[in-house]
Chain A
Amino acid sequence: MNNLIRSTARCLRSGAAVYNVPGRADGRVWSAPARFLCAAADIQKDLGEMVKKDKVVVFMKGTPAQPMCGFSNAVVQILRMHGVDDYAAYNVLEDQDLRQGVKDFSNWPTIPQVYFNGEFVGGCDILLQMHQNGDLVDELKKLGISSALLDAEKESK
């Protein structure tokens, strides 16, 4: 945490220096070294916004259409079973800063990671167990999402 604060402070200082460069069209463009120094702090701020932007957010390896890992695939399949297809999926294989950043953000060592309403839910094991014990249906309901499994159950009655 202290490191984060220190690097943020460094960012602010170098950011100010960049901002004062005369003739620069956009003062908010960071110079490369400043961007490097702030990468860790920036990504944490970005992640805070990313997880809140959509009701359901998944950080995974690959994409829902083409998962690159069995655990990420399992999360995609579970969500699909519940009829959840409108979610934000971020491919961590495309961005190494994001891959490490999201682990730091949630203090969770593995990918995939699932967020509901900005809150960390868990990884593949937790989502699978929530699916098995029925909690997932309830949690989706809290988000205003009616699980497709619930509809299927009603129809069969």
Chain B
Amino acid sequence: MAVTADHIRDKLTKELEAVHVDVEDTSPNRCAASFKVLVVSSQFEGKPLLQRHRMVNTCLAEELKEIHAFEQKTLTPEQWEKQKSQ
């Protein structure tokens, strides 16, 4: 089964209670093997970057086996608001 951007968005929204998820398919030929995600969740609050990324990796463990390249950015709702206003 090919991993889709929608699938990734749904899973992160559900399992990490993300309030905002951006998924960009960055594979050169759109073969759905390379993604860039932005995840905004209050579950990240008080957690260091490494731990946040590990949460995303764990959530997408199955999918990551199929994904060749994966970039991620993890923000708390507060950081997200701040970034938007910049």
Q: Spell out A's residues near B (CB within 8 Å).
A: 71, 107-110, 120-126, 129-130
Contacts and interface: CB of A to CB of B under 8 A. Distances in A.
Nearest to A127: B49
Interface string B45-62: 000011001100100010
B57 A125 contact: no
A108 B84 CA distance: 30
A130 B64 contact: no
Contacts of A108: 54, 57
Contact of B73 (A109, A121, A125, A130): A125
Nearest to A107: B54
9 shortest A-B CB distances, which residue pairs?
A109-B64, A122-B50, A126-B49, A125-B72, A109-B57, A125-B71, A110-B70, A129-B49, A126-B50
A130 B70 contact: no
B19 interface: no
Contact of A122 (B53, B65, B73): B53
B69 interface: yes
A109 B70 contact: yes
B57 A130 contact: no
Given A108-B57, A109-B61, A109-B64, A122 B49 contact: yes
B11 to A, nearest CB: 15
B53 A126 contact: yes
Contacts of B54: 107-108
Contact of B50 (A109, A110, A120): A120
Nearest to B36: A125
27 contacts: A71-B69, A71-B71, A108-B54, A108-B57, A109-B57, A109-B61, A109-B64, A109-B65, A109-B70, A110-B64, A110-B69, A121-B50, A122-B49, A122-B50, A122-B53, A123-B53, A124-B71, A125-B53, A125-B71, A125-B72, A125-B73, A126-B49, A126-B50, A126-B53, A129-B49, A129-B73, A130-B49
